[in-house]
């Protein structure tokens, strides 16, 4: 499928506006990782994935996506809304009482597009593998995508899942790690070093590829196309997605300090000025 | 006192194995997962019949719970199998977030619960699992008493939608409930009608409660005996109706006194019918190594303890 890079970049600009507005509005949430993963989400939902926004929970014949690092819910919610899963106006309820847009994604409030609760880290890869196992059982050839944070790889369950996926040749799984090198308390290399991630995943039996420019739409598209071409070959595929935390908002970039902090009015104005309105603000 | 007899003793976990095979035949969406304890959970027959519907996870219980949650997205009905300790405390957050809060139709099937696990000792003898699981919103909690009831419960789970914890044990115990019983989740089973004291028992303590009822009869005490296989949702009506008649209750379970069946019964009575209650349960301690019968005697989980509790509670009316 050929991609209209300009169009995808325009969607990403709107998603970034949504993210900072949502987080500003309730003065809580996680803008850093959300902004860093915006381009990847847009590439998935507006290019790579076969999916139906009318939302059939079991998604037979569709690709699936799971978000393991649930704290970047703003980018997930905005992407789902902009893809047509629910009205964009509902983004205004993010983290407010009686909202379907909980702080971390949940099925509990029946928000279309969400198939598992996440937030407590380390669990999403296992869930994605279970769904992929169900697809294999049903002879459904579609792909299961899952995104993890890099700090999240410090959770042991991730490596249980990694071992299982390789042993069982889960080659309908395309996982990605948001490789921004930052977590709440600082740089991952200082908090708990991840070491050589490529070597680790390869040692666990995965086919690993890097998307070096994880905030460049053309690079993401070609990386996802490459990942897709490598799936179905007997190995699960891992994308090391090199992103910048806070990407697209200059004062948030390059610092872990915007992991879970909301912008003030002045900062919001600056952030919005850097990301043009393309699809209409909610 | 109604007479209960049995022709053989069998382990409840074999009831699970037999029920799982039947469940697999009944519904092709039934799948099973195990964390390296196939033999202990008696899952061999299911695996032989449905090899493609079985997933060996290895010693990775957290991953097993996540995979089970994911399988439901394809409309599968996953039954996970491992020891009760590794089915609950070890993976509590995985169950909480990926299964309970996410509303997944996963059947967490747990063997070797309680002291009767025996010689392996306290590391494996979980006595807190009923409390852990009943605290999770939406979680159904079942603790069966013999082979036939465990088999019937396993089969009943196929048609029950929602996360469920099914607890059973290791040793052979009298198999006294009917092979053709209808298992209704949330419905208490009246074993004996009586007038002086209500005995509410679950799991391996149900047979002990029957033995106690016979002893009490010799003492001129008429015991009403209720088999509570479903601790959540609790059959409040059955308990209230019985205690309204007898005015006192003994609860009996192979579990910590804190957080188990007894506490659930006490809560119902405190709110609707305050009545004297005595607990036959482990008194807030860990277990230890030993033979199952020796342990049940040492920790006061037997017919004699139920008799003593019944005589005591009657004096408190």
Which chain A residues contact residue B34 at CB under 8 A? none
Label residues A39-52 b or e (16+ Cβ within 10 Å = b): bbbbbbbbbbbebe
User: Is the pLDDT assigned to residue A2 strictly greater than 80?
Assistant: no
pLDDT in tens, A132-188: 999 999 999 999 999 999 999 999 999 999 999 999 999 999 999 999 999 999 999
pLDDT of residue B74: 83
Write the ipTM: 0.96
Please check whether residue B52 touches A, CB under 8 A: yes
Which chain B residues contact residue A58 at CB under 8 A? 73-75
Calculate mean pLDDT across residues B306-315.
98
* Cα B24 to Cα B19, B143, B161, distances in angstroms: 9, 21, 16
Which residues, 6 or more positions from B237, have their beta carbon under 8 angstroms from its beta carbon? none
Of B22, B61, B128, B224, the active-site residue reads: B61
Question: How many other β-carbons are positioned within 10 Å of the β-carbon of residue B3?
Answer: 7
Q: What is the mean pLDDT of chain B?
A: 98
pLDDT in tens, A89-135: 999 999 999 999 999 999 999 999 999 999 999 999 999 999 999 99
Calculate mean pLDDT across residues A3-25.
97
pLDDT in tens, A247-264: 999 999 988 889 899 999
Which chain A residues contact residue B103 at CB under 8 A? 107-108
Suggest the residue from A66, A118, A125, A127 to mutate for an interface test with chain B (most B CBs closer than 10 A). Answer: A127
Which chain A residues contact residue B51 at CB under 8 A? none
* Per-domain boundaries in chain A: 5-273
Contact A130 B67 (CB under 8 A): yes
pLDDT in tens, B74-87: 899 999 999 999 99
Angle CA B256–B257–B258, to nearest 5: 85
User: Is the pLDDT assigned to residue B136 strictly greater than 90?
Assistant: yes
Per-residue 3-state assignment (H helix, E strand, C coil) for B272-288: HCCCCEEEEEECCCCCC
Q: Is B193 a catalytic residue?
A: no
- Going along chain B from its start, the domains and CATH numbers come out as 9-174 (3.40.50.970), 189-315 (3.40.50.920)
Contact A108 B62 (CB under 8 A): no
CATH superfamily of A5-273: Thiamin diphosphate (ThDP)-binding fold, Pyr/PP domains (3.40.50.970)
pLDDT of residue A254: 83
Q: How far is A24 from chain B (nearest CA, A)?
A: 27
Calculate mean pLDDT across residues B107-118.
97
Calculate mean pLDDT across residues B273-286.
98
User: Is the pLDDT assigned to residue A1 strictly greater than 70?
Assistant: no
Residue A3 pLDDT level (bands cut at 50, 70, 90): confident
Query: A140: nearest CA in chain B?
Result: B74
> Residue A150 corresponds to which tokens in the numbers above?
């890099």
Beta strands in chain A (DSSP E): 64-67, 144-149, 173-179, 182-183, 186-187, 207-211, 237-242
Please check whether residue B53 touches A, CB under 8 A: yes
pLDDT in tens, A263-272: 999 999 999 9
Suggest the residue from B55, B74, B98, B100 to mutate for an interface test with chain A (most A CBs closer than 10 A). Answer: B74
User: Is the pLDDT assigned to residue B278 strictly greater than 70?
Assistant: yes
Please check whether residue B66 touches A, CB under 8 A: yes
Contact A126 B98 (CB under 8 A): yes
Calculate mean pLDDT across residues B87-109.
98
Give CA–CA dist B125/B117, Å, rounded. 6
Suggest the residue from B32, B67, B162 to mutate for an interface test with chain A (most A CBs closer than 10 A). Answer: B67
- For residue B191, the SS3 value is strand
Residue A203 pLDDT level (bands cut at 50, 70, 90): very high
């Amino acid at each position: 499928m050929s991609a209209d890079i300009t169009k995808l970049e325009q969607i990403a600009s709107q998603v970034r506006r949504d993210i900072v507005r949502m987080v500003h509005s309730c003065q809580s949430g996680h803008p850093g990782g959300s902004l860093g993963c915006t381009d990847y989400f847009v590439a998935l939902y507006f290019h790579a994935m076969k999916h139906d926004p009318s939302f059939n929970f079991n998604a037979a014949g569709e690709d699936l996506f799971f978000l393991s690092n649930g704290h970047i819910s703003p980018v997930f919610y905005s992407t789902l809304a902009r893809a047509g899963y629910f009205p964009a106006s509902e983004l205004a309820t993010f983290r407010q009482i009686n909202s379907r847009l909980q702080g971390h994604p949940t099925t509990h409030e029946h928000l279309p597009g969400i198939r598992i609760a996440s937030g407590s880290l380390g669990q999403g890869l296992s869930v994605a593998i279970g769904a992929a196992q169900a697809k294999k059982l049903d002879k459904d050839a579609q792909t299961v995508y899952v995104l993890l944070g890099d700090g999240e790889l410090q959770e042991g369950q991730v490596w249980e899942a990694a071992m299982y996926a390789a042993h069982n040749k889960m080659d309908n799984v395309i996982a990605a790690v948001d490789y921004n090198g930052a977590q709440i308390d600082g740089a991952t290399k200082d908090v708990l070093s991840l070491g050589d991630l490529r070597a680790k995943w390869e040692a666990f039996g995965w086919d690993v590829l890097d998307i070096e420019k994880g905030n460049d739409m053309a690079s993401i598209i070609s990386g996802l196309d490459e990942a897709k071409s490598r799936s179905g070959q007997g190995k699960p595929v891992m994308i090391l997605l090199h992103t910048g935390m806070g990407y697209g908002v200059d004062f948030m970039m390059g610092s872990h300090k915007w992991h879970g902090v909301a912008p003030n009015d002045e900062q919001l104005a600056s952030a919005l000025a850097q990301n043009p309105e393309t699809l209409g603000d909610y | 006192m109604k007479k209960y007899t049995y022709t053989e003793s069998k382990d409840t976990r074999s009831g699970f194995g037999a029920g799982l095979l039947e469940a697999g035949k009944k519904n092709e969406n039934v799948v099973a997962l195990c964390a390296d304890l196939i033999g202990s959970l008696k899952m061999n027959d299911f695996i032989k019949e449905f090899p493609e519907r079985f997933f060996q996870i290895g010693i990775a219980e957290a991953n097993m719970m996540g995979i089970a949650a994911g399988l439901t997205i394809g409309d599968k009905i996953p039954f996970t199998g491992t020891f009760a300790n590794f089915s609950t405390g070890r993976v509590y957050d995985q169950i909480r977030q990926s299964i309970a809060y996410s509303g997944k139709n996963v059947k967490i099937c747990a063997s070797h619960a309680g002291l009767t696990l025996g010689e392996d000792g306290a590391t494996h003898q979980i006595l807190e699992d009923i409390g852990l699981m009943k605290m999770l919103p939406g979680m159904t909690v079942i603790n069966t008493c013999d082979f036939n009831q465990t088999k019937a419960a396993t089969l009943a789970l196929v048609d029950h939608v929602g996360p469920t914890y099914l607890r059973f044990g290791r040793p052979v115990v009298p198999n006294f409930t009917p092979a053709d019983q209808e298992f209704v989740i949330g419905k208490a089973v009246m074993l004996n009608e009586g007038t002086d004291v209500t005995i509410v028992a679950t799991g391996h303590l149900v047979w002990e409660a029957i033995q106690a009822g016979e002893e009490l009869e010799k003492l001129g005490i008429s015991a009403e005996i209720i088999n509570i296989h479903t601790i959540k949702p609790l059959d409040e009506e059955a308990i209230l109706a019985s205690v309204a008649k007898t005015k006192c209750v003994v609860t009996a379970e192979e579990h910590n006194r804190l957080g188990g069946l007894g506490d659930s019964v006490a809560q119902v009575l405190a709110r609707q019918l305050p009545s004297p209650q005595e607990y036959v349960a482990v008194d807030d301690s860990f277990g230890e190594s030993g033979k199952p019968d020796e342990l049940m005697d040492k920790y006061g989980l037997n017919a004699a303890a139920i008799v003593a509790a019944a005589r005591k509670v009657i004096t408190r009316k």
